[in-house]
């Protein structure tokens, strides 16, 4: 496997002042059953700093109106702020143009947009879509729906025991019927960082467009869609310290222009009559109805916050947390780490011998430690490892080494209960 080095390894790594950063997050002061909250479920959703909370409050108290619809002052302010948020995100992922950023409700909707807008227009019977074993259900189910409708077919890239994609097998799946590739950059279940840049290059050499599910990558590393040369990139705001209900689809302008709209309604049209409706241009063509304006502006503020700390520093700190936690868990008897890829980001999935993950999760919660237990919306991964579920600790830049120690102590407590 020729894994291209992930951006996080190239980034400079100035030390990060975790205590100062933690002070920005009011929720981290919570106690759970009398114990300090140790929030290690960041892959499911991250927490929001005061700066973003304040931005939402300011928008709601002094800037709110509907956008793109009126000439009055508030509407103009709201429109400008909403479009400014789009600009910030475009810069964050290094899009060529702002209009290549479409606001969606999150990664799930972004992928569904591509399925409807691109898949339903350009794929047909017998066409093949390449996905991977690692995919989140949100990058599987929409394509199954498309296959059912069109008679297309899904081909799946297998993984090895470490949870790494078998790139040789990926390359062998291509044939003249291959019309689309969907792959996640970082696995939410195992933490594997996939070599998406070389995978994209391989697909492009065969004229096949590629969608990257960046839900778990965007919070942990520099994203450069031009460098990756991906055709689509999806991410969720709530995993980036922003609000829920907002995310984006990045798409190359030329592709977005050829795609059909996903939803019909207001704002996505230029003119409507019962004889003929003319669609608006990109990105409005894909943003029917009143969007979550506050959430978009909140996401813009979250990106300002992250950019100020720097994705390089964030990645370096999270890698240190992951390395420290991995080293500790590796040494513990009865603990088995699931997902041991050479290149991983911020996710540590594990199984405890003789303890069902749900029991572990409930008992860890009693120690104040919040982890996710379950199949992580990645049942094919669980099937591959022949387990129903794992416990998963996932780190953010505001987690401390002491919190890793709390996780380790919590696991010992669980083991004692089940000894």
Ligand X SMILES: Cc1ncc(COP(=O)(O)O)c(C=O)c1O
The contact pattern for ligand X, residues 246-275, with x = CB under 6 A and - = no contact, is -x----------------------------
Nearest approach, Cβ of 365 to another protein (angstroms)? 7
List of residues 6+ apart from 169 with CB closer than 8 A = 157, 158
Residues making contact with another protein (CB under 8 A): 32-34, 355-359, 362-363, 365-366, 373-375, 382, 388-389, 417-418
377 is catalytic: yes
Of positions 213, 287, 318, 367, contacts ligand X by CB under 6 A? 213
Scanning 93-101, 213-221, 272-280, 285-293 for contacts with ligand X by CB under 6 A, the matching segment is: 213-221
- Active-site residue, selected from the candidate residues 147, 241, 336, 377: 377
Among another protein, ligand X, none, the one that 415 touches (CB under a kind-dependent 5 to 8 A) is: none
Of positions 78, 181, 184, 190, contacts ligand X by CB under 6 A? 184
Between 9 and 356, CB nearer to another protein: 356
CA pair distance 400, 216, nearest whole angstrom: 20
Of positions 107, 132, 192, 340, contacts ligand X by CB under 6 A? 107
Nearest approach, Cβ of 181 to ligand X (angstroms)? 15
Nearest approach, Cβ of 294 to another protein (angstroms)? 25
Beta-carbon count within 10 A of 110 CB:
30
Site for ligand X in 351-410 (CB under 6 A): 377
Q: Residue numbers of the site for ligand X (CB under 6 A)?
A: 106-108, 136, 138, 184, 188, 213, 215-216, 236, 247, 377
Which residues are the active-site residues? 377
């Amino acid at each position: 496997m020729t894994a291209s080095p992930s951006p996080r390894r190239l980034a400079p790594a100035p030390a990060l002042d975790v205590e100062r950063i933690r002070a920005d997050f009011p929720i981290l002061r919570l106690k759970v059953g009398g114990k300090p909250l140790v929030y290690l479920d960041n892959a499911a959703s991250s927490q929001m700093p005061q700066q973003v909370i304040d931005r939402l409050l300011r928008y709601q108290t002094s800037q709110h109106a509907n956008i793109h619809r009126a000439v009055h002052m508030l509407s103009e302010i709201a429109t400008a702020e909403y479009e400014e948020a789009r600009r910030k995100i475009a810069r964050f992922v290094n899009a060529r143009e702002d209009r290549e950023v479409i606001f969606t409700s999150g990664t799930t909707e972004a992928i569904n947009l591509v399925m409807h807008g691109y898949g339903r227009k350009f794929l047909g019977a017998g066409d093949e879509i390449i996905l991977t074993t690692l995919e989140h259900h949100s990058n599987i189910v929409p394509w199954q729906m498309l296959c059912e409708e069109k008679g297309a077919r899904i081909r799946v890239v297998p993984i090895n025991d470490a949870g790494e994609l078998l790139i040789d097998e990926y390359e062998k799946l291509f044939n003249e019927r291959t019309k689309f590739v969907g792959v996640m950059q970082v696995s939410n279940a195992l933490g594997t960082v996939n070599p998406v840049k070389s995978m994209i290059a391989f697909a492009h050499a065969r004229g096949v467009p590629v969608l990257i599910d960046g839900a778990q990558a965007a919070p942990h590393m520099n994203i450069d869609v031009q460098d990756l040369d991906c055709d689509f990139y999806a991410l969720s705001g709530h995993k980036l310290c922003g609000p829920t209900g907002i995310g984006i689809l990045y798409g190359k302008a030329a592709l977005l222009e050829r795609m059909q709209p996903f939803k019909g309604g207001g704002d996505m049209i230029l003119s409507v009559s019962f004889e003929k409706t003319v669609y608006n241009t990109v990105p409005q063509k894909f943003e029917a109805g009143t969007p979550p304006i506050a959430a978009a502006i909140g996401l813009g503020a979250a990106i300002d916050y992250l950019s100020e700390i720097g994705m390089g520093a964030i990645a370096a700190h999270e890698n240190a947390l992951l390395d420290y936690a991995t080293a500790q868990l590796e040494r513990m008897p009865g603990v088995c780490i699931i997902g041991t890829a050479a290149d991983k980001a911020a996710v540590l999935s594990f199984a405890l011998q003789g303890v069902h993950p749900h029991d572990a999760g409930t008992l860890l919660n009693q120690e104040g430690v919040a982890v996710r237990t379950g199949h992580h919306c990645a049942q094919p991964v669980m099937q591959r490892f022949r387990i129903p579920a794992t416990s998963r600790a996932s780190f953010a830049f505001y987690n401390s080494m002491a919190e890793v120690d709390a996780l380790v102590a919590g696991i010992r407590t669980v083991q004692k209960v089940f000894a």
